[in-house]
Copies of this chain bind each other. A is one copy, B any other.
Amino acid sequence: MIDNPYYSPAVHQDYTLVSIGALDLEEGGTLPDVQLAVRTWGTLNEAKDNAILIPTWYSGTHQIWADAYVGEGHALDPAKYFIVCVNQIGGGLSTSPHNAEDAVSMSKFPKVRIGDDVVAQERLLREHFGIERLALVVGGSMGAQQTYEWAVRFPEKVRRAAPIAGTAKNTPHDFLFTETLNEQIWSDPGWNGGEYASNSEVADGLTRHAHLWATMGFSTEFWKQEKWSALGFASKEEFLTNFLEPYFTAMDPNDLLAMAWKWQRGDVSRHTGGDLAAALGRITAKTFVMPISEDMFFPVRDCAAEQALVPGSELRVIDDVHGHLGLFAVDPGFIPQVDALLGELLASPAD
C-alpha cells in the first residue's frame, strides 16, 4: 500500500467510499473488501426511476464528469436526475493495487474484468441506493465498455445506454496499443515487477506512457492545427511537459496496469460464447452509439459495426478534431454535442 496524494478529494473533488463487501472475480480469487469511490448529484425520486449511472474511463475519475458533463443546463441535470458516478476498480480512488490491503496490494492485486466492475456497481446501486433500474448508463472509453457490459448483462435494468468513444468488444489494434502503454511502465527498472516504493520511481516509464497518449490519444489534425494553443500552452513541447507528463506521472503504475488489463479484454461476447451479434442482440436499452469523429483507436468504423448489431440503436458521431481525448471536453463544441445527444436520448421513450 502506497500513499499517493494524487488520489484524494483535494485533487478529485468530493467523493464517498462505499464498501460493498467481498467481490468474487471472473478470473478467480476474491477482492476481500471492495470500496467504491462514489460521487452523486441530485436526488433519487420516490419511484427510483430517475437514476443515471456513469462508469469511469482509464486514468479518469468522476472529476471530469463533475467539471464538464454534469450540472445545471446540461443533459445530465441534477435537478431532474439522480446521477451516480462510480469510479472503476483499479482507478485509484476505488479499491486499487496501490491502496488495497496488503494481501492483494501492488503486484498481488488480482485480475479484474469489466464484468467485475459492473457486478460491483449493480450491487452498490441495489444494496446501497435501492436502485433496480437505470434511466441511462453513459460512459466514455472504458466507461463505454462498462456501459455495453451493463446493457448486455442486465438488459432489464438499463433503459437507455450511451457508450461514447468505446467498444463492446475491444479490437485487436486497441489491444496492441494498450500493450505499448503497459510496456512503457514495465520497461522502467524502477517498476521492479510492481513493487516500487513510490510512483516517482517509475517516472521515466510514466513519461513515455504520456508520450504515447500524445500520438494516439489526440488526432493528427489536433497537432497540425496546434489546438494546444487554445489550452494556453506556448508549444507542443510545453503541452507535453506541462500537461500530459504531469497528468500521468502523478498516477500509480500498478493502477494503470490493472485498468489496462481490463480494457484490453473488454468483450460482451463472453456472455454468448464469443458471438458478438448475439450478445449485442440482447440489448433492450434505447442506445445511442457515440464515437468521436477523429478517434484514432476507437474509430467511428469500429463503433458503427457494433452499433449495427444493437436493436433499435442509432449511430451519433461527435465531431471533434481532438480525437479520443476530446473526452476531456476541451473543445468548445464537444459538450454541446454531448448534451444535445444525451438530451434527445433521455427524452426518448424506453421500456
Is A183's CB under 8 angstroms from B171's CB? no
Tell me the count of chain A residues lying within 8 A, CB to CB, of chain B.
35
Say which residue of B189, B204, B216, B223 sits within 8 Å of A215 (CB atoms): B216
Interface of chain A residues 292 through 306 with chain B (CB within 8 A): 296-297, 299, 301-302
Partner of A176 from B176, B183, B211, B226 at Cβ < 8 Å: B211
Task: Tell which of B177, B211, B223, B226 touches A179, judged by Cβ atoms closer than 8 Å.
Answer: B211
Contact A212-B172, Cβ < 8 Å, known A187-B187, A204-B187, A220-B297: no
Q: Mark A194-223, 1 if CB is under 8 A from B, else 0.
A: 000000000011001001101110111111
| A189: chain B residues within 8 A (beta carbon) | 189
- B171 contacts A215, C-beta separation under 8 Å: no
Contact with B along A246-283 (1 / 0, CB 8 A): 00000000000000000000000000000000000000
A180-B215, A215-B180, A296-B296 as given contacts; A173 in contact with B208, CB under 8 Å: no
Which among B183, B236, B296 is the interface contact of A208 at CB below 8 angstroms? B183
A176 touches B215 (CB 8 A): yes
A189 shortest CB reach to chain B, Å: 7
Nearest to A207 among chain B residues (CB) is B183
Complex interface: chain B residues within 8 A of A173 (CB): 215, 218-220, 222-224
Closest Cβ of chain B: how far from A108's Cβ, in Å? 25
Residue numbers in B under 8 Å from A240 (CB-CB) = 176
What's the Cα separation between A224 and B306 when bound, in Å?
13
Interface residue from B183, B205, B299 paired with A220 (Cβ < 8 Å): B299
CB neighbours (8 Å) of A212 from chain B are 180, 212
Contacts of A215 in B (CB 8 A): 173, 176-177, 180, 216, 297
Some 27 contacts from A to B, beta carbons below 8 A apart, are A171-B220, A171-B223, A172-B224, A172-B236, A173-B215, A173-B219, A173-B220, A173-B223, A176-B211, A176-B214, A176-B236, A176-B240, A180-B211, A180-B212, A183-B208, A187-B187, A187-B188, A187-B205, A189-B189, A215-B297, A216-B216, A220-B297, A220-B299, A220-B301, A220-B302, A221-B301, A224-B302
Q: Please report A residues at the B interface, Cβ cutoff 8 Å.
A: 171-174, 176-177, 179-180, 183, 187-189, 204-205, 208, 211-212, 214-216, 218-224, 226, 236, 240, 296-297, 299, 301-302
**6 tightest CB-CB pairs across the interface, nearest first?**
A173-B223, A172-B223, A173-B220, A177-B215, A176-B215, A180-B211
